Amino acid sequence: MSEQAEHSTGGVYSSKGKEYARDTRYLPTRLKRAVAPGEDAVAIEPGRYRLIAARACPWANRAIIDRRLLGLEDALSLGLPGPTHDADSWTFDLDPGGVDPVLGIHKLKDAYLARDPQYPRGITVPAIVDTTTGAVVTNDFAQITLDFATEWKDFHRPGAPDLYPEALRDEMDQVMRRVYTEINNGVYRCGFAGTQESYDAAYDRLFAALDWVEERLTTRRYLMGEHITEADVRLFTTLVRFDAVYHNHFKTNRNKLIEMPALWGYARDLFQTPGFGDTVDFEQIKQHYYVVHSDLNPLQIVPKGPDLSGWLTDHDRGSLGGSPFGDGTPPGPVRPAERAPHTILES
Protein backbone atom coordinates (compact mmCIF):
# COMPACT_ATOMS: atom_id res chain seq x y z
CA MET A 1 0.00 0.00 0.00
CA SER A 2 1.20 3.51 -0.71
CA GLU A 3 2.06 5.80 2.16
CA GLN A 4 -0.85 8.00 1.09
CA ALA A 5 -3.27 5.13 1.39
CA GLU A 6 -1.93 4.31 4.83
CA HIS A 7 -2.72 7.81 6.07
CA SER A 8 -6.09 7.70 4.36
CA THR A 9 -7.33 4.45 5.80
CA GLY A 10 -5.40 4.06 9.03
CA GLY A 11 -4.39 0.61 7.85
CA VAL A 12 -1.35 -1.25 6.61
CA TYR A 13 -0.75 -4.55 4.90
CA SER A 14 0.19 -7.43 7.10
CA SER A 15 3.32 -9.14 5.82
CA LYS A 16 1.60 -12.52 5.92
CA GLY A 17 -0.33 -13.33 2.76
CA LYS A 18 -0.54 -9.67 1.73
CA GLU A 19 -3.88 -9.27 3.45
CA TYR A 20 -5.08 -5.83 4.44
CA ALA A 21 -4.79 -5.25 8.18
CA ARG A 22 -5.89 -2.02 9.83
CA ASP A 23 -3.53 -0.47 12.37
CA THR A 24 -5.83 -0.06 15.38
CA ARG A 25 -3.27 1.40 17.77
CA TYR A 26 -4.96 4.69 18.58
CA LEU A 27 -4.29 7.29 21.26
CA PRO A 28 -6.33 5.83 24.11
CA THR A 29 -7.00 9.00 26.11
CA ARG A 30 -10.70 9.62 26.65
CA LEU A 31 -12.77 12.73 27.27
CA LYS A 32 -15.06 12.01 30.21
CA ARG A 33 -17.57 13.68 32.49
CA ALA A 34 -15.56 12.64 35.57
CA VAL A 35 -11.97 11.43 35.61
CA ALA A 36 -10.70 8.98 38.23
CA PRO A 37 -7.18 9.39 39.66
CA GLY A 38 -4.61 7.79 37.38
CA GLU A 39 -7.10 7.32 34.53
CA ASP A 40 -5.92 8.08 31.00
CA ALA A 41 -8.64 10.65 30.45
CA VAL A 42 -9.32 14.37 30.57
CA ALA A 43 -12.40 16.17 31.78
CA ILE A 44 -14.85 17.49 29.23
CA GLU A 45 -14.96 21.28 29.08
CA PRO A 46 -17.42 22.82 26.62
CA GLY A 47 -15.67 24.99 24.06
CA ARG A 48 -12.18 23.73 24.83
CA TYR A 49 -11.91 20.87 22.35
CA ARG A 50 -12.14 20.75 18.56
CA LEU A 51 -13.25 17.80 16.48
CA ILE A 52 -11.20 17.42 13.29
CA ALA A 53 -13.21 15.27 10.91
CA ALA A 54 -12.98 15.18 7.11
CA ARG A 55 -16.31 14.66 5.34
CA ALA A 56 -14.62 12.27 2.90
CA CYS A 57 -13.62 9.73 5.55
CA PRO A 58 -16.24 7.19 6.72
CA TRP A 59 -14.75 6.93 10.21
CA ALA A 60 -14.82 10.72 10.60
CA ASN A 61 -18.28 10.98 9.04
CA ARG A 62 -19.58 8.94 12.01
CA ALA A 63 -18.38 11.59 14.43
CA ILE A 64 -19.88 14.41 12.34
CA ILE A 65 -23.26 12.64 12.29
CA ASP A 66 -23.28 11.92 16.03
CA ARG A 67 -22.23 15.46 16.91
CA ARG A 68 -25.16 16.78 14.87
CA LEU A 69 -27.73 14.23 16.08
CA LEU A 70 -26.84 14.92 19.71
CA GLY A 71 -26.60 18.70 19.32
CA LEU A 72 -23.00 19.09 20.46
CA GLU A 73 -22.21 22.01 18.14
CA ASP A 74 -21.86 24.58 20.94
CA ALA A 75 -19.81 22.26 23.17
CA LEU A 76 -17.41 20.95 20.52
CA SER A 77 -16.27 22.95 17.50
CA LEU A 78 -15.66 21.31 14.13
CA GLY A 79 -12.64 21.58 11.84
CA LEU A 80 -12.89 20.15 8.32
CA PRO A 81 -9.78 19.10 6.39
CA GLY A 82 -10.06 18.88 2.63
CA PRO A 83 -10.91 15.64 0.84
CA THR A 84 -7.41 15.02 -0.49
CA HIS A 85 -4.09 15.15 1.29
CA ASP A 86 -0.42 14.55 0.72
CA ALA A 87 1.58 11.57 1.96
CA ASP A 88 2.38 13.41 5.19
CA SER A 89 -0.94 14.52 6.64
CA TRP A 90 -4.54 15.59 6.26
CA THR A 91 -4.51 19.31 5.44
CA PHE A 92 -6.92 22.22 5.89
CA ASP A 93 -7.22 23.09 2.22
CA LEU A 94 -10.83 24.28 2.51
CA ASP A 95 -10.02 27.08 4.95
CA PRO A 96 -8.74 30.54 3.93
CA GLY A 97 -4.99 30.34 3.47
CA GLY A 98 -5.13 26.58 4.04
CA VAL A 99 -5.03 27.12 7.83
CA ASP A 100 -7.51 25.90 10.42
CA PRO A 101 -8.99 29.12 11.86
CA VAL A 102 -8.97 27.86 15.46
CA LEU A 103 -5.80 25.75 15.66
CA GLY A 104 -3.76 27.91 13.29
CA ILE A 105 -2.19 24.91 11.52
CA HIS A 106 -2.12 23.74 7.91
CA LYS A 107 -1.38 20.08 8.64
CA LEU A 108 -3.20 17.97 11.18
CA LYS A 109 0.16 16.29 11.75
CA ASP A 110 1.22 19.36 13.76
CA ALA A 111 -1.42 18.56 16.38
CA TYR A 112 -0.18 14.97 16.61
CA LEU A 113 3.41 16.17 17.03
CA ALA A 114 2.26 18.56 19.74
CA ARG A 115 1.06 15.47 21.61
CA ASP A 116 4.14 13.36 20.80
CA PRO A 117 7.09 14.85 18.88
CA GLN A 118 8.01 11.31 17.79
CA TYR A 119 4.48 10.22 16.90
CA PRO A 120 5.10 7.08 14.81
CA ARG A 121 1.77 6.17 13.22
CA GLY A 122 -0.69 7.46 10.63
CA ILE A 123 -2.26 10.91 10.86
CA THR A 124 -5.89 9.87 11.06
CA VAL A 125 -9.30 11.49 11.39
CA PRO A 126 -11.39 11.91 13.41
CA ALA A 127 -9.19 13.46 16.04
CA ILE A 128 -10.13 15.62 19.02
CA VAL A 129 -7.67 18.42 19.69
CA ASP A 130 -7.22 20.50 22.84
CA THR A 131 -7.35 24.08 21.61
CA THR A 132 -5.40 25.34 24.63
CA THR A 133 -2.36 23.18 23.85
CA GLY A 134 -2.85 22.41 20.17
CA ALA A 135 -2.33 18.71 20.90
CA VAL A 136 -4.46 15.72 19.87
CA VAL A 137 -6.23 14.18 22.85
CA THR A 138 -7.58 11.10 21.08
CA ASN A 139 -8.07 9.61 17.63
CA ASP A 140 -9.84 6.44 18.81
CA PHE A 141 -12.77 6.79 16.40
CA ALA A 142 -14.93 4.02 17.89
CA GLN A 143 -14.63 5.28 21.45
CA ILE A 144 -15.10 8.92 20.44
CA THR A 145 -18.66 8.34 19.26
CA LEU A 146 -19.60 6.07 22.16
CA ASP A 147 -18.41 8.81 24.51
CA PHE A 148 -20.43 11.41 22.58
CA ALA A 149 -23.51 9.34 23.42
CA THR A 150 -22.65 8.82 27.09
CA GLU A 151 -19.95 11.06 28.57
CA TRP A 152 -21.13 14.21 26.74
CA LYS A 153 -24.77 13.88 27.88
CA ASP A 154 -24.67 17.11 29.89
CA PHE A 155 -24.29 18.95 26.59
CA HIS A 156 -26.84 17.08 24.47
CA ARG A 157 -29.63 19.15 22.93
CA PRO A 158 -33.16 18.73 24.29
CA GLY A 159 -34.77 15.81 22.45
CA ALA A 160 -31.47 14.19 21.50
CA PRO A 161 -31.77 10.47 20.72
CA ASP A 162 -30.23 7.82 22.96
CA LEU A 163 -27.72 6.37 20.52
CA TYR A 164 -26.33 3.78 22.95
CA PRO A 165 -29.25 2.64 25.12
CA GLU A 166 -28.20 0.57 28.11
CA ALA A 167 -30.84 -2.10 27.59
CA LEU A 168 -29.51 -2.87 24.10
CA ARG A 169 -25.77 -2.58 24.65
CA ASP A 170 -24.88 -6.26 24.84
CA GLU A 171 -26.58 -7.03 21.53
CA MET A 172 -25.50 -3.70 20.02
CA ASP A 173 -21.85 -4.37 20.76
CA GLN A 174 -22.07 -7.69 18.92
CA VAL A 175 -23.87 -6.14 15.96
CA MET A 176 -21.44 -3.23 15.74
CA ARG A 177 -18.47 -5.57 15.97
CA ARG A 178 -19.71 -7.59 13.02
CA VAL A 179 -20.56 -4.44 11.04
CA TYR A 180 -17.05 -3.14 11.69
CA THR A 181 -15.02 -6.25 10.95
CA GLU A 182 -17.06 -7.55 8.01
CA ILE A 183 -18.51 -4.42 6.35
CA ASN A 184 -16.82 -1.16 7.42
CA ASN A 185 -13.39 -2.76 7.25
CA GLY A 186 -14.49 -5.43 4.79
CA VAL A 187 -14.63 -3.04 1.84
CA TYR A 188 -11.04 -1.99 2.56
CA ARG A 189 -10.01 -5.62 2.86
CA CYS A 190 -11.28 -6.11 -0.70
CA GLY A 191 -9.82 -2.90 -2.08
CA PHE A 192 -6.32 -3.35 -0.71
CA ALA A 193 -6.03 -7.12 -1.03
CA GLY A 194 -2.51 -8.05 -2.09
CA THR A 195 -3.31 -11.38 -3.75
CA GLN A 196 -6.19 -12.94 -5.65
CA GLU A 197 -6.71 -15.36 -2.79
CA SER A 198 -6.96 -12.65 -0.14
CA TYR A 199 -9.32 -10.63 -2.35
CA ASP A 200 -11.58 -13.62 -2.98
CA ALA A 201 -11.79 -14.37 0.73
CA ALA A 202 -12.47 -10.73 1.59
CA TYR A 203 -15.16 -10.47 -1.09
CA ASP A 204 -16.97 -13.54 0.23
CA ARG A 205 -16.82 -12.26 3.82
CA LEU A 206 -18.15 -8.84 2.84
CA PHE A 207 -21.16 -10.08 0.90
CA ALA A 208 -22.00 -12.71 3.50
CA ALA A 209 -22.27 -9.84 6.00
CA LEU A 210 -24.26 -7.64 3.63
CA ASP A 211 -26.68 -10.52 3.09
CA TRP A 212 -26.97 -10.82 6.88
CA VAL A 213 -27.94 -7.14 7.34
CA GLU A 214 -30.22 -7.32 4.29
CA GLU A 215 -32.14 -10.12 6.01
CA ARG A 216 -32.10 -8.37 9.39
CA LEU A 217 -33.47 -5.14 7.91
CA THR A 218 -36.26 -6.85 5.98
CA THR A 219 -38.40 -7.06 9.10
CA ARG A 220 -37.13 -4.15 11.21
CA ARG A 221 -36.69 -0.50 10.33
CA TYR A 222 -33.33 -0.04 12.04
CA LEU A 223 -30.54 -2.39 13.07
CA MET A 224 -31.66 -2.49 16.69
CA GLY A 225 -35.39 -2.22 16.08
CA GLU A 226 -37.63 0.84 16.14
CA HIS A 227 -35.19 3.74 16.61
CA ILE A 228 -31.80 4.84 15.32
CA THR A 229 -28.74 3.97 17.36
CA GLU A 230 -25.00 4.20 17.00
CA ALA A 231 -25.14 0.89 15.10
CA ASP A 232 -27.05 2.60 12.29
CA VAL A 233 -24.58 5.47 12.14
CA ARG A 234 -21.72 3.01 11.74
CA LEU A 235 -23.38 1.03 8.96
CA PHE A 236 -24.64 4.11 7.13
CA THR A 237 -21.23 5.65 6.44
CA THR A 238 -20.18 2.56 4.50
CA LEU A 239 -23.48 2.17 2.66
CA VAL A 240 -23.53 5.78 1.51
CA ARG A 241 -20.11 5.28 -0.13
CA PHE A 242 -20.83 1.87 -1.61
CA ASP A 243 -22.11 2.61 -5.11
CA ALA A 244 -20.19 5.87 -5.50
CA VAL A 245 -16.81 4.37 -4.58
CA TYR A 246 -16.50 0.86 -3.23
CA HIS A 247 -18.39 -1.03 -5.97
CA ASN A 248 -15.85 0.07 -8.57
CA HIS A 249 -12.78 1.37 -6.76
CA PHE A 250 -12.59 -1.49 -4.24
CA LYS A 251 -13.97 -4.17 -6.61
CA THR A 252 -16.94 -4.96 -4.33
CA ASN A 253 -19.02 -5.64 -7.41
CA ARG A 254 -21.26 -8.65 -6.78
CA ASN A 255 -24.09 -6.14 -6.82
CA LYS A 256 -24.76 -2.50 -6.07
CA LEU A 257 -26.48 -1.18 -2.97
CA ILE A 258 -29.46 -0.16 -5.11
CA GLU A 259 -29.93 -3.86 -5.97
CA MET A 260 -30.47 -4.91 -2.34
CA PRO A 261 -34.06 -3.90 -1.54
CA ALA A 262 -33.97 -3.74 2.26
CA LEU A 263 -30.52 -2.15 2.48
CA TRP A 264 -31.29 0.39 -0.24
CA GLY A 265 -34.56 1.38 1.41
CA TYR A 266 -32.84 1.56 4.81
CA ALA A 267 -29.98 3.66 3.45
CA ARG A 268 -32.40 6.12 1.83
CA ASP A 269 -34.45 6.28 5.03
CA LEU A 270 -31.37 7.28 6.99
CA PHE A 271 -30.07 9.61 4.29
CA GLN A 272 -33.34 11.55 4.39
CA THR A 273 -33.29 11.71 8.20
CA PRO A 274 -31.86 15.02 9.53
CA GLY A 275 -28.31 14.46 10.73
CA PHE A 276 -27.37 11.82 8.17
CA GLY A 277 -27.60 12.90 4.53
CA ASP A 278 -26.99 16.54 5.39
CA THR A 279 -23.46 15.61 6.51
CA VAL A 280 -22.65 13.82 3.23
CA ASP A 281 -20.66 15.38 0.40
CA PHE A 282 -20.43 12.90 -2.48
CA GLU A 283 -17.96 15.07 -4.41
CA GLN A 284 -15.51 15.13 -1.52
CA ILE A 285 -15.97 11.39 -1.00
CA LYS A 286 -15.13 10.59 -4.63
CA GLN A 287 -12.23 13.04 -4.75
CA HIS A 288 -10.69 11.45 -1.69
CA TYR A 289 -10.72 7.83 -2.78
CA TYR A 290 -9.97 8.29 -6.47
CA VAL A 291 -7.22 10.88 -5.97
CA VAL A 292 -5.49 9.79 -2.75
CA HIS A 293 -5.44 6.08 -3.58
CA SER A 294 -3.15 6.61 -6.55
CA ASP A 295 -1.88 3.03 -6.31
CA LEU A 296 -5.40 1.84 -7.14
CA ASN A 297 -6.19 4.69 -9.56
CA PRO A 298 -2.87 5.88 -11.04
CA LEU A 299 -4.40 8.50 -13.35
CA GLN A 300 -6.46 9.92 -10.45
CA ILE A 301 -9.50 10.38 -12.69
CA VAL A 302 -12.64 10.99 -10.61
CA PRO A 303 -15.83 9.43 -12.04
CA LYS A 304 -18.70 11.79 -12.86
CA GLY A 305 -21.34 9.27 -11.72
CA PRO A 306 -23.26 7.64 -10.34
CA ASP A 307 -26.67 9.32 -10.57
CA LEU A 308 -27.48 10.41 -7.01
CA SER A 309 -31.14 11.31 -7.47
CA GLY A 310 -32.25 7.93 -6.14
CA TRP A 311 -31.18 8.92 -2.64
CA LEU A 312 -34.13 11.31 -2.51
CA THR A 313 -36.82 8.86 -3.65
CA ASP A 314 -39.51 7.32 -1.45
CA HIS A 315 -38.39 4.34 0.64
CA ASP A 316 -41.58 3.21 2.41
CA ARG A 317 -39.60 2.10 5.45
CA GLY A 318 -42.19 3.70 7.69
CA SER A 319 -44.44 0.73 6.98
CA LEU A 320 -42.19 -1.30 9.30
CA GLY A 321 -43.15 0.95 12.22
CA GLY A 322 -40.79 2.75 14.52
CA SER A 323 -39.50 6.29 14.30
CA PRO A 324 -35.95 7.59 14.01
CA PHE A 325 -35.84 9.63 17.22
CA GLY A 326 -38.28 7.70 19.44
CA ASP A 327 -39.60 10.14 22.04
CA GLY A 328 -37.04 12.73 20.94
CA THR A 329 -36.90 15.21 18.10
CA PRO A 330 -34.79 15.70 14.98
CA PRO A 331 -31.91 18.17 15.06
CA GLY A 332 -32.54 21.64 13.71
CA PRO A 333 -31.22 22.99 10.43
CA VAL A 334 -27.51 22.63 9.68
CA ARG A 335 -25.59 25.72 10.68
CA PRO A 336 -24.63 27.67 7.55
CA ALA A 337 -20.90 27.46 8.23
CA GLU A 338 -21.14 23.66 8.53
CA ARG A 339 -23.30 22.98 5.49
CA ALA A 340 -21.78 20.38 3.16
CA PRO A 341 -20.65 22.27 0.02
CA HIS A 342 -22.02 19.69 -2.43
CA THR A 343 -25.04 18.37 -0.55
CA ILE A 344 -27.84 16.99 -2.73
CA LEU A 345 -30.46 17.88 -0.12
CA GLU A 346 -32.46 21.07 -0.33
CA SER A 347 -31.79 23.83 2.18
Q: Which residues are annotated as a binding site for glutathione?
A: 90
3-class DSSP state of 228: coil
HSE-CB at 199 with a 13 A cutoff on CA atoms is: 11
Q: Is 57 assigned a catalytic role?
A: yes
- Asked whether 6 and 12 are in contact (CB, 8 A), the reply is yes
Q: Which residue in 188, 203, 222, 290 is the catalytic one?
A: 188
Query: What is the rounded CA–CA span in Å between residue 310 and residue 306?
Result: 10
The separation between the first and the last C-alpha atoms of the chain, rounded to the nearest angstrom, is 40
Distances (CA, A) of 22 to 7, 25, 116, 122, 176: 11, 9, 21, 11, 17
Spatial distance between the Cα atoms of 144 and 148, rounded to a whole number of angstroms: 6
Alpha-carbon Rg of the chain, whole angstroms? 19
Active site residue 190: no
Helices (H), the chain: 3-9, 58-70, 109-115, 141-150, 169-178, 186-191, 196-216, 230-241, 247-249, 261-271, 282-287
Q: DSSP characters for 88-101?
A: S--B-TTSGGG--T
CA distance 200 to 197: 5
CB 30 within 8 A of CB 138: yes
DSSP 165: -
Distance in angstroms (rounded) separating the CA atoms of residues 291 and 87: 12
Instruction: Put residue 38 in one of left, alpha, beta given phi > 0 → left and psi -120 to 50 → alpha.
Output: left
Report CA 311 to chain centroid distance, whole Å.
19
Q: Which of 20, 26, 49, 57 is catalytic?
A: 57
Are the C-beta atoms of residues 140 and 63 closer than 8 Å to each other? no
Which residues are tagged catalytic? 57, 188
